[in-house]
Amino acid sequence: MSETETTTETGNRRGRPGRERGRTDGKFGRYGGQYVPEALMPAIEELTDAYERYVLENEDGFMDEFRERLADFGGRPTPLQRADRLSERYDREVYLKREDLLHGGAHKLNNALGQVLLAKYMGKERIIAETGAGQHGTATAMAAAHLDMPCTVYMGERDINRQRPNVFRMKLNGSEVKPVTAGRGTLKEAISETMRDWAATVGDTHYVIGSVVGPHPFPVMVRDFQAVISEEAREQSIEVTGRLPTDVIACAGGGSNTMGSFAAFVDDESVALHAIEAGGSTLEVDEEAGVAPNSASLFAGDEGVLHGARTKLLQDSHGQIMESHSISSGLDYAGVGPELACLVDEGRVNPVAVDDDAALEGFHRLSRTEGIIPALETAHAFGYLEEHGDELRDRVIVTVSGRGDKDLDAAIEETDKRDVAGAPDMSMFTGGL
């Protein structure tokens, strides 16, 4: 099984100093920690212990089974593909790390499969998860079905309406989907509600959090499961070009794609890391309404405590969490992983906000020129490439975090509202609206 071999080789992360960060106390500089209700603390401690034994020490061959299932069930490794037209357009080598080709159509399965498997090793009997765009929910539902675990997914009502096909996919996989009506009904509320479920069911239930957020050990554990993206990409880059990339670009919401795309490069100081956040419609905030019409917590947020961790947040001057916004529901979150917040403060990661318009143009450009319809989340990275391509050096990797099939309705609607260069006429699809 050559795929498994490749994965195993590149999967050897031992000895990378970056992984020591946050390992024991869950602190990344001033960020991280465990700000959770007392009822959850024993579960968090149990999970920390399981993470250290199974993930870090490969006890009972956990990591071997994880990698094997990522290959057989997930389809890893994913290709590192040269994007010919984009390379020509920007006059530098542009490679795409194709996480859209992972089973389920997004990078999310890496983490979901890892956590559901871990829950099984821990003897848990039930899985719960939150989801924003539905990508983490569908990945968790697939992993739960694959590993024969009952699963409940909490999803904001607004997101359910934006992402109906994903709701159906979760149900097809046998998961229960519970709508969350609090607040604006997006990811933030879904996470809060899942934490409430967990507080009542900690004994037999594992909460599969969908990003590098939340209390320790979630940020390090999710990073380690997603790190396979950059481990492969690093190896593939050396294999194909003989060298490391000069720049790695990944979109950032909560940050699981970002940390997964960066983890293996963090210690390669020559590699510039660009985290592309959703700039939404504007970076201005409406303090009165409690709304930040963007999700750029790295770029525009301030330090605070949310959902178990100290990190960078979109909040008002009193510390109330803002309602975020993005054209892509997967980036629509007021917080971000604490490790990313720390890497930004250290100057290791360059945070950039790309607005809805530029993301939508990126969506059309990649679809038209490369034959890849990206998720609207991913499209932000291509918006960045267009706006800042000339600032990058000569070998660029962009992670295609997911495919855009789930976003077709939103893309049609949003395209119809704008004058997007080179986009097809969408009015025939929106005539009834």
Partner 1 sequence: MADDGAIDGNATDDGAAGNPADTAVSTGNSDAIAAAFADGPAYIPYLAVGDPDYDSSLAYVEALDRGGADIIELGLPFSEPIAEGPTIQGAVVRALEGGMTPDRFFAFVEELDVDAPLVCMTYYNLIYQYGASEARSASDASGDAASHDGPRPFVERAAAVGIEGFVVPDLPAEEADPLREACDEFGLDLVFIVAPTTAGERLERIMEHVSGYVYVQARLGTTGAKSDVSDQTTESLARIREYDVPKAVGFGISAGEHAERIVAAGADGVIVGSALVDIVAAGHEEGRSVEEVADELEALSRELKAGAERGLSARDAGDDDDGEGAEADPDPASPGDAR
Where along the sequence are the contacts to partner 1 (CB under 8 A)? 33-39, 41-43, 45, 182-183, 188, 192, 195-196, 199-203, 290, 302-308, 313, 315, 317-321, 345
DSSP secondary structure code for residue 294 in this structure: S
Distance CA 227, CA 73 (A): 18
Helix-strand-coil split of the chain, %, nearest 5: 50, 20, 30
How far apart (Å, rounded) are the C-alpha atoms in residues 384 and 430? 28
Q: How far is the CB of 200 from partner 1 (least distance, A)?
A: 3
Judged by beta carbon, residue 200 or residue 421, the one nearer partner 1 is 200
Q: How far is CA 153 from CA 174, 200, 223, 307, 368, in A?
A: 11, 15, 21, 17, 34
Largest separation between any pair of C-alpha atoms in the chain: 58
Of the candidates 99, 295, 401, 406, the residue annotated as catalytic is 401
Of 99, 130, 339, 361, the active-site residue reads 130
Residue 320 CB, nearest distance to partner 1 (Å)?
4
C-alpha–C-alpha distance, residues 262 and 272, integer Å: 9
Residue 89 or 178: which CB sits closer to partner 1? 178
130 is catalytic: yes
In the bound state with partner 1, the residue whose beta carbon lies nearer, of 35 and 90, is 35
Residue 334 Cβ vs partner 1, minimum distance, rounded to whole Å:
9
Q: Which is nearer to partner 1, 193 or 224 (CB)?
A: 193
Burial of 390 (0-12, 13-18, 19+ CB in 10 A): exposed
Structure tokens at 304: 């605070």
Listed residue (337, 336, 308, 313) closest to 36, CA to CA: 308
CB of 36 to partner 1, least distance (A): 6
Q: How many helices (H) and strands (E) does the chain have?
A: 18, 14
Nearest distance from C-beta of residue 27 to partner 1, angstroms: 10
Active site residue 57: no
Q: Which is nearer to partner 1, 61 or 319 (by Cβ)? A: 319
Q: Which is nearer to partner 1, 11 or 338 (CB)?
A: 338
Q: 27, 68, 97, 108: which is the annotated catalytic residue? A: 108
Going by the DSSP 8-state scheme, the letter that residue 283 receives in this structure is: S
Say how far residue 314 (Cα) sits from the centre of its chain: 18
Q: Shortest distance, CB of residue 225 to partner 1, whole angstroms?
A: 24
Active site residue ranges: 108, 130, 401
